[in-house]
């Protein structure tokens, strides 16, 4: 700010107005802070992220899935049409803005519509079917942040497009069972069928007839849902609505023949494959595109105390949405609905933050990062780049070496080496630099020996055997 402006500002707004000077506002003090509902994933947590992603990618690749990477931004209309205009996600939770050209953009709130967009746009319907894809990344939903619910979170999606067979649904569930086994997490699948448009119409009428008589007792949101999308009432977390729902008609009693056969065959496959599941007629998943099979993955806590707490709570008090580790199902009409050929499909989205929190809650075993074996220390400025070169040499030879070349004092460097519990420290001082040698210090015994820099790799190999 110029000194003149500063002077005007100091004299105050009245002075500025009296003199008809343009009003100058004080610059707001800005304290950098993270946005609400967003999270920095710190280095200490990366071990969990690496572990989870590695296990998931290994499993899906071994099942023949290929990776696809999709953009974070999409046309807002894709989600309005794909996810559904009356869904919570589109109605209340999308992060929207217009870009410089005025195109309405959304930060993706979920992955399925954009996967389908890519499937159609990239001509994947011409590939041998079914097409098996996985993708992962951030999703954005403007929700009230709370435990297990952020505004930015990561999902790992697994999808099979191009088959209507129930064995595909079973394959995804078996793959998920393997993933959670590999992660060391105990889970349970809760499964339901939403049928097709035909049977859903019949069920919808039954449900409206049942709930219509109790309309005034439902929460205000459900009174609205009853008009717009009655099935969504089944998803309501309000206690009063839950009470009425416990006696409401169940969709599986109203499935048409084809949907019933699909569901029955799937359950038979699950039994044959020894996949443990429970039926839950209240799972509707809250998105418009689901047909037939829907399911959620819920953690089965091994922690007795938490287990008892969960079991002691009546079902309606367990905030399901907050603990589900993932959910998915069939979306047989979405590809056609978004302009592609008729392509039945099935998929799942896993919530990575929740899975990581569950790993911590269930005290699952995470492989530790291997600690360094060698610390390279230097004593004089002249030796610093030699130390870095030796470190690089050791690294290329496959040793786990480390250093802290910003430090000057040898004592400090050896203290760091001690904390890291390395077996050997290599010390290069002025003399060693001139003689092209290194001091090898055994950190347990404190014994030291001088060796030629050219022989260091051989010497270390011998000692680490
Ligand atoms: P959905 O796309 O809503 O079916 O969510 C699938 C999974 O993503 C859920 O089961 C959660 O594990 C995770 N998830 C959904 N919304 C959030 C959120 N706001 N914060 C963290 N994880 C979420």
Predicted TM-score (pTM) of this structure = 0.88
User: 246 CB contacts (<8 Å, ≥6 apart)?
Assistant: 316
DSSP 3-state assignment of 348?
strand
Closest CA to 131 of 191, 182, 65, 194: 65
Cα of 141 from ligand 1 centre, angstroms:
9
Ligand 1 pocket residue status of 130, Cβ below 6 Å: no
Ligand 1 pocket residue status of 143, Cβ below 6 Å: yes
User: 68 CB contacts (<8 Å, ≥6 apart)?
Assistant: 115, 118, 133, 134, 135
pLDDT for 378-427, tens place per residue?
998 999 999 999 999 999 999 999 999 999 999 999 999 999 999 999 99
Flag whether pLDDT at 41 surpasses 50: yes
pLDDT for 57-66, tens place per residue?
999 999 999 9
pLDDT confidence of 317, banded at 50, 70, 90?
Answer: very low
Report the nearest atom of ligand 1 relative to the CA of 111.
Answer: 2
* Mean pLDDT of all residues in 309-334: 68
Ligand 1 pocket residue status of 214, Cβ below 6 Å: no
Neighbour-count burial of 398, counting CB atoms closer than 10 A to its CB (0-12 exposed, 13-18 middle, 19+ buried): exposed
pLDDT for 421-465, tens place per residue?
999 999 999 999 999 999 999 999 999 999 999 999 999 999 998
The protein residue whose alpha carbon is closest to atom 12 in ligand 1 is 351
What are the tokens at 337?
């609905």
E strands, 379-456, in order: 401-403, 424-428, 437-442, 448-452
Chain-wide mean pLDDT for the chain? 91
The protein residue whose alpha carbon is closest to atom 9 in ligand 1 is 326
Ligand 1 pocket residue status of 235, Cβ below 6 Å: no
pLDDT for 148-165, tens place per residue?
999 999 999 999 999 999
Cα of 351 from ligand 1 centre, angstroms:
5
> What does the pLDDT read at residue 308?
52
Ligand 1 pocket residue status of 153, Cβ below 6 Å: yes
The protein residue whose alpha carbon is closest to atom 1 in ligand 1 is 327
> What does the pLDDT read at residue 305?
53
> What does the pLDDT read at residue 376?
98
Ligand 1 pocket residue status of 109, Cβ below 6 Å: no
Ligand 1 pocket residue status of 347, Cβ below 6 Å: no
Ligand 1 pocket residue status of 112, Cβ below 6 Å: no
Report the nearest atom of ligand 1 relative to the CA of 143.
Answer: 19
The protein residue whose alpha carbon is closest to atom 18 in ligand 1 is 149
Q: 292: left (phi > 0), else alpha (psi -120 to 50), else beta?
A: left
Ligand 1 pocket residue status of 110, Cβ below 6 Å: yes
What are the distances in angstroms from CA 325 to CA 152, 161, 262, 299, 363? 16, 23, 25, 7, 16
Instruction: Let me know the angle formed at the C-alpha of 259 by 288 and 196, rounded to the nearest 5 degrees.
Output: 25
């Amino acid at each position: 700010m110029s000194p003149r402006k500063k002077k005007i500002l100091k004299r105050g707004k009245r002075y500025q107005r009296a003199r008809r000077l343009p009003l100058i506002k004080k610059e707001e003090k800005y304290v950098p802070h993270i946005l609400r509902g967003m999270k920095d994933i710190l280095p200490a947590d990366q071990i969990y992220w690496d572990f989870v992603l590695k296990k998931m990618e290994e499993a899906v690749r071994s099942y023949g899935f290929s990776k696809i990477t999709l953009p974070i931004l999409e046309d807002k209309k894709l989600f309005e049409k794909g996810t559904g205009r009356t869904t919570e996600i589109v109605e209340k939770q999308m992060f929207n803005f217009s870009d410089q050209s005025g195109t309405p953009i959304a930060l993706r709130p979920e992955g399925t519509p954009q996967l389908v967009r890519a499937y159609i746009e990239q001509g994947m319907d011409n590939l041998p079917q079914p097409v098996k894809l996985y993708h992962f990344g951030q999703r954005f939903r403007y929700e009230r942040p709370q435990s297990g619910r952020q505004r930015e979170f990561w999902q790992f999606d697994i999808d099979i497009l191009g088959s209507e067979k129930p064995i595909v649904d079973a394959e995804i569930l078996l793959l998920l069972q393997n993933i959670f086994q590999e992660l060391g997490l105990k889970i349970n699948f809760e499964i339901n069928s939403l049928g097709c448009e035909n049977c859903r119409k019949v069920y919808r009428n039954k449900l409206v007839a049942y709930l219509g008589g109790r309309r005034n007792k439902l929460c205000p949101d459900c009174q609205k849902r009853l008009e717009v999308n009655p099935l969504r009432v089944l998803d309501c977390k309000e206690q009063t609505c839950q009470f009425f729902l416990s006696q409401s008609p169940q969709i599986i009693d109203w499935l048409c023949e084809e949907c019933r056969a699909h569901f029955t065959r799937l359950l038979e496959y699950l039994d044959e494959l020894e996949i443990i599941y429970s039926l839950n007629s209240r799972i509707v998943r809250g998105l418009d595109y689901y047909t037939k099979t829907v399911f959620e993955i819920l953690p089965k806590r091994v922690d007795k105390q938490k287990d008892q707490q969960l079991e002691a709570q009546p079902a309606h008090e367990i905030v399901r949405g907050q603990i589900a580790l993932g959910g998915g199902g069939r979306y047989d009409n979405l590809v056609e609905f978004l302009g592609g050929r008729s392509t039945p499909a099935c998929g799942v989205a896993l919530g990575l933050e929740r899975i990581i929190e569950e790993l911590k809650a269930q005290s699952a075993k995470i492989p530790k990062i291997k600690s360094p074996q060698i610390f390279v220390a230097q004593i004089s400025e002249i030796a610093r780049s030699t130390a870095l070169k030796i470190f690089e040499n050791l690294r290329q030879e496959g040793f786990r070496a480390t250093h802290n070349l910003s430090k000057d004092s040898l004592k400090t460097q050896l203290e760091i080496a001690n904390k890291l519990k390395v077996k050997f420290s290599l010390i290069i001082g002025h003399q060693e630099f001139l003689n092209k040698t290194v001091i090898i210090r055994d950190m347990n015994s404190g014994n030291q020996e001088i060796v030629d820099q050219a022989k260091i790799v051989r010497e270390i190999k011998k000692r680490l055997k």
